[in-house]
Structure 1
Amino acid sequence: MHAVTTGKDGRQYHVVILPAKDSPFNRGNYSIRGGTNALTVWSLDRGTQDRLLYPLLRVGDQFQAITWQDALTLVAGVIKGIRDRDGNDDNITVKAYDHGGSGQGFEDNYGAGKLFFAALSVKHIAIHNRPAYNSEVWGSRERGVHELNYDYTDARLADTVVLWGANPFETATVFYAEHILPNIQGNTVAEKQEAFEKGEPAEPGYLIVIDPWKTSSYSGEKAKQYPFWVTTGRAMTIWQTAYHDRRLPEKAMALPLPYVEVHPEDAKRFGLQSGDLVEVYNEEGNGTFLVYVTDAVKPGMLFLVMYHWRGTSNSLVSGYTDPKTTIPWYKGTRANLRKLAGAIPSVQQTASLLQQNKFD
């Protein structure tokens, strides 16, 4: 991804994000968030010029700009009121800005961290979709085991991978998609044969997920009524919040509708082809999507692109939230689909762009 920005010296600078093709971690690709960072660099020519300069206070259904002193006084007053009422911090929780990557999030969060940890002594603070102020927290600390006690090769070579409280349908991490999944699919057998002792069995691994939450997604009857697992994720052509995309005509033209990836076997059963329009639905809600037939997903799974400015993928998410983190099950629900009006030329053209990866 590429962008041009103007520095304080008045000169123009090119900002380019290039993936490390020899990286053993992301397997020669970059994360969507990291890969599109160049597009968020400040520029007068894009929506990035709209930056917040003051805190915003919600008053009714409006946001009102206030001073930093007023914001700090308000936050401190609320925290003191809860402590005076309860005598403890059990009902004081803070969610901070995204954790970023390679420590960037901690740098961006430095001021907020100092405020809540040092000045206000808040105990319960977490970043992004994590239950703690740490990049990767999988619930193992409570068991006396630090969460980062292995590397990616373990996931590729293990006979059995056990995940506690980290359902991969929910998390959909690169660690799972690029390392655990190839192992259980049998695509790392050659690596095992090279790494194991002579004569030691080298077979596809097993995955055991211990998930303590019970939802309608796992109900047998619901599985028959809604046969597809639904997961969501980013797309190279869509920035994380879609805030900038809706202001970029080339982006809107490249992908005018949110899309759903459907495996060829499922597409054949439902009489679908790339470019068709479908309704994806369950008992929570529904949405209209552009079909993209691809074997990038498994049979029985639907991948919905998220953060599209016309997207409706969150309409399918249940009201269930994790009691500790209050995070909904964005990546672990069931749904069904039905064909709508068939293919139309402009939508088919977009599907062709998808298949050719011609987004720029």
Structure 2
Amino acid sequence: MAVFERRDSIPIPPKDAQKFISPCQYCGVGCGYNIYRWPVGKEGGPKPNENALGIDFTKQGVALQSQSITETMYSVVKGEDGNLYNVLIIPAQDSPINRGNYSIRGGANAETLYSPTKPTRERLRRPLIRVGDEFMPVTWEEAIDLVARVTKGVVDKYGPDSVAMKGHDHGGAGAGYEANWALWKFFMVAVGTRMLSIHNRPANNAEVWGQRERGVFELNYTYEDARLADTIVLWGANTFVNATVFYTEHMMPNLQGATIDEKKKEYLEGEPAEPARMVIVDPRKGATVEVSEIVAPGRVLHLRPNLGTDYVLANAVARAVWEKGWWDKDFVEKRTDLNLFEEYKKKSLMLDVPYEEFMSRVEKLTGVKKEDIEKAAEWIASPKPGNFRRRAFILYEKGAIWNYKNYDTIASIAQLAALTGNYGKPGSACGRQGGHAEGYAGPDNISRAKLVGSIYHGGPPPNVDEYVKNDPKAKIYFVAGTNPYLSTLNSQAFREKVSERIMTLNKYLSELARLYGEPAGSEERARRILEGLEKTNGLFMVVVDIYKTETAKDAHVILSAAGWGEKTSTYINCNSRLMRISEQFMAPPGDAKPDWWIWGRIATRMKELYEAEGNYEAAKYCSGMDWKTSEEVFLQNSHYLPDNRVPAADEALLPQESFKGVTYEYLRKVGQKGIQVPTRIDPETGELVGTKRRYVYRFGTPDGKFKWYGSDPWEPDPMKFYPPQITKYFQDGNDSKYPFWLTTGRTQILWQSAYNDRYLPEKVATIPLPYIQMNPEDARRLGINSGDMVEVYNLEGNVVALVYVTDAPPPGMVLGLMYHWNGTFNHLTTSYTDPKTNIPWYKCSRVAIRKLKGKLEDILKNTSLLPTNDVRI
């Protein structure tokens, strides 16, 4: 019996249905989708010449080969003309990325679209301002004027850094180059603040300076490298779960030996081509491990380091490579800085420590056996028959990025690839797997605020989370396309302190309203807000989003943004840097507006206010943002990019976000094939060309050489290794009070903060609550079973969660789900950030667990408690 109402058919698009294209709105794989739109009441026929798909629906399709069409790929939407249209969003078979394949996320793109008859009716449809303790809808003119006046007033009185922000920097999810250019231009140029932070971290920083400052942008490979590698290394990257189609469409065939013919075409003459091996570095035995061991028995090595020890482990694998003589001497001598190589050998490889003693220390700290470390080194770097170099494809993601000592962790993995010569060759690379799609477009070269890198390049940048929580100099907090009350580190404390500052301002405004009545308009309202900010420790918050998130519920102004499919945008995927257009195919709900329009109007209104005062110097920084179309924004961004008329050998000197010469017309012409950034205009032919694989000829440093780095020293004693935010749990009896290690992670079903997924009933029924994964040994000891409810708590916060008993975490460790709207395990993470980068350590804390009485029987009726990592069940 079905739990939810099912459709047994959906309309067939007629021959004249409109066709649009877009990458998926979710993960960084960037699967291509074709969107068909046609009027409600009209339908095509079942024969190929009667429908837009050219499919013969009178015949049975071939399983796993025919075009996938499910009920979750269909919806009814309102067009720009106000009429209702059928919409079919299906995985594109002509996409080189997914080839018609799809994940549980992308397969439900149509379900996320706004509908007045579905849960997505909760979308924000017009601007809202706080009046007392409730929100009132207002016109855009009123909302824009209020925000512009308060922002201008604060900047004029307290300076640009009195304005703080946290915003999107990615593609997909309604963002892209257009939204990002407008957002970051507003804050970097119009406002000029340094208090910038990116949606999933407390500062405006790269998560991977440890690789970038070696001369390597983190997205440097192409999806084909996953098909061509001898060995695939996944370091803190749960690919089957979080980049599903990249795994199933490209990695898995390599493990199965289905890409050997492709290898023979790319390999050197006589070079052996075999099914790939895989090395997975992850404390948990997740679904990627399980699936890979089924697909490639005997060719999967799983290393399970203790939390926070990854940089030591990566350097230990490199040391084993060195000791065995498997390092690529030719590559190192020709393509790397040999002076800095000496520092790397001394500090990272620790060559002054005898090998056996070194490995003994590593085993004690990481928990990984020497023989497994040496096997990883062998699979990555040992010569193939005929003395050919082994091709290793090394990907890392949040398990490495959100780790202890972020800079050193990323640098150690990037340098392992350099030591083994794995850059710039087919099947050889080292970079991020990617989370969301990418589309950063900040005006870094015209920013009024000084932008910095890691501690080695003028940084790190300021920690904006701490600033808005604790510093009265922070007067305004803008939040755009993110939900920090759920997603930031130590989020329970963050929410309490920010909310307290907001309430301080609210109380002052309420007292003025009691004495003098509500203000008559935006000018008077702004005057009172500015007075309140002067006389209290209050904080004024503006949120731009598509739903009224937990963060938005505390805001003073909420500006309703258009989402995916409701505006035209551009962005790239992570696994090929493939740039494509995401076309608008429906109207935004109500009077919601594209992000670029919102930021442009605020800046333009500030410009008008400055001009009215005769302050033309300030006005000029707010000019040039009165865009009329998304392509105007795109082309303005392109204008400020560096000259890309360079030969192929100099592509390494171009930023990743380099697409000068690309237009919407061009992207519509190339369709799902897209173009790989950085793009170049060939100096000889004048043609626009993409970059398939980066760093073939040189690295992105002035002399073209890879820049080595020597890691921090370390001790095998945990009390000396871990930072105070963790060692406090080993002191004063806390080791027995908080006996479990906590790591955090995601689920294949819910994407990121579940900004859309929480409005899809079947997904909510599947993951109705935050959960922990607990090892059977620990569960037996505590008398806990799958389906029980527990409170997980520590000195940072607490979460009530459902229990899944599974062998995924080792004994003594639990995994907590990040970002669930009913309780996020980010509440329990510490305030630690890497002092070199200000990147947080979301992946580690210590906790206690208390079993609650009873069960939530209504939830257990519809929620599977089977282990999510065991795909054989």
Same fold, judged at TM 0.5 (above): yes
CA shift in 2, pair 1:287/1:138, >3 Å: same
Cα 1:156–1:2 shift into 2, 3 Å: farther
> Does 2:820 match 1:308?
yes
Partner of residue 781, structure 2 = 269
How much is the aligned-residue C-alpha RMSD, in angstroms? 5.1
Whole-Å separation in 1 of the counterparts to 2:763 and 2:736: 38
Determine helix, strand or coil for the equivalent of 1:303.
Answer: strand
How far does residue 182 in structure 1 lie from its aligned partner after superposition?
A: 0.3
- In the alignment, structure 1 residue 285 sits paired with structure 2 residue 471: no
Change in Cα spacing, 1:113 to 1:297, as seen in structure 2 (3 Å) is same
Unaligned runs of 5+ in 2: 1-71, 252-277, 283-299, 304-374, 395-399, 408-721
Between the aligned partners of 2:853 and 2:178, the Cα distance in structure 1 is 49
1:159-238 matches, cutoff 5 A = 182-183=280-281, 186-187=301-302, 193=379, 196-198=382-384, 210=405, 214-219=723-728, 220-221=730-731, 222-238=734-750
Distance 1:197 1:122 in 2: 52
Opposite residue 139 of structure 1, the aligned amino acid is: W
Between 334-343 and 315-324, report the one with greater CA deviation. 315-324
1:275: Cα distance to partner? 1.5
- Any conservation in 1 of the 2:208–2:218 contact (CA below 8 Å)? no
Which moved further from structure 2: 74-83 or 307-316?
A: 307-316
Query: What is the letter of the counterpart of residue 727 of structure 2?
Result: Y
The answer to whether 1:40 aligns with 2:40 is: no
The 2-side partners of 1:252 and 1:345 are apart by 16
Change (3 A) 1:325 1:18: farther
Q: Higher strand share goes to which structure?
A: 1
Any conservation in 2 of the 1:276–1:339 contact (CA below 8 Å)?
A: yes
What's 1:165 paired with? none
The whole-number CA distance in structure 1 between the counterparts of 2:783 and 2:767 is 23
8 Å Cα contact 1:285-1:316 kept in structure 2? yes
| C-alpha distance in 1 between matches for 2:855 and 2:93 | 35
Residue 114 to residue 319, structure 1, CA distance change in 2 (3 Å): closer
Match of 1:138 in 2: 208
AA aligned to 2:788 is D
- The farther-off stretch of 299-308 and 150-159 is 150-159
Residue 809 of structure 2 aligns to a residue whose secondary structure is coil
> Residues 138, 59 of structure 1: CA spacing in aligned structure 2 closer, same or farther, 3 A cutoff?
farther
- 1:78 is matched with which residue? 154
Deviation at residue 13 of structure 1 after TM alignment = 0.7
2:773/2:816 contact within 8 Å kept: yes
Q: CA deviation at 1:334?
A: 1.2
User: Is 1:131–1:324's contact at 8 Å kept on the other side of the alignment?
Assistant: no
Q: In the alignment, is the contact (CA less than 8 A) between 1:275 and 1:347 conserved in 2? A: no
Aligned to 1:295: 807
TM-score (norm: length of structure 1): 0.66
**For residues 94 and 301 of structure 1, what CA distance do their matches in structure 2 show?**
35
2:843 is paired with a residue of what secondary structure? coil
Give the structure, 1 or 2, with the largest relative contact order (CA under 8 Å, sep 6 or more): 2
1:37-186 equivalence runs, <5 A: 37-53=109-125, 55-57=127-129, 62-63=134-135, 65=138, 66-83=142-159, 92-97=163-168, 99-101=170-172, 104-123=175-194, 125-130=196-201, 136-140=206-210, 143=213, 145-148=215-218, 182-183=280-281, 186=301
What's the offset of the Cα at 1:246?
A: 5.9
Residue 333 of structure 1 deviates from its aligned partner by 1.5
State the percentage of identical aligned residues: 36
User: Secondary structure at the residue paired with 1:67?
Assistant: helix
The one-letter code matched in structure 2 to 1:81 is K
Residues 178-215 of structure 1: CA deviation (Å, up to 9, x unaligned): 9997047834969964864148999xx9x995369834
Post-superposition CA distance 1:214-272 (Å, at most 9, x none): 34323433444323222333434446445666655545544443321112332233232
Contact 2:794 2:848 in 1 (8 A): yes
Larger radius of gyration: 2
How far the C-alpha of 1:335 sits from its partner, in A, is 0.6
Identify the residue that residue 164 of structure 1 maps to in structure 2.
none
| Change over 3 Å in CA distance of 1:11–1:356 after alignment to 2 | same
* 2:129 corresponds to 1:14: no
Counterpart of 2:488 in structure 1 is: none
* Aligned length in residues: 334
Taking the aligned partners of 1:56 and 1:96, their CA distance within structure 2 comes to: 19
- Structure 2 counterpart of 1:137, which letter? E
The structure in which a higher percent of residues are helix is 2
Does the Cα contact within 8 Å between 1:97 and 1:109 map onto a contact in 2? yes
Which residue of the other structure, out of 834, 841, 853, is the alignment partner of 1:341?
Answer: 853
Instruction: Select the residue among 241, 257, 264 that pairs with 2:769.
Output: 257
Q: Which TM-score applies when normalising by structure 2?
A: 0.31
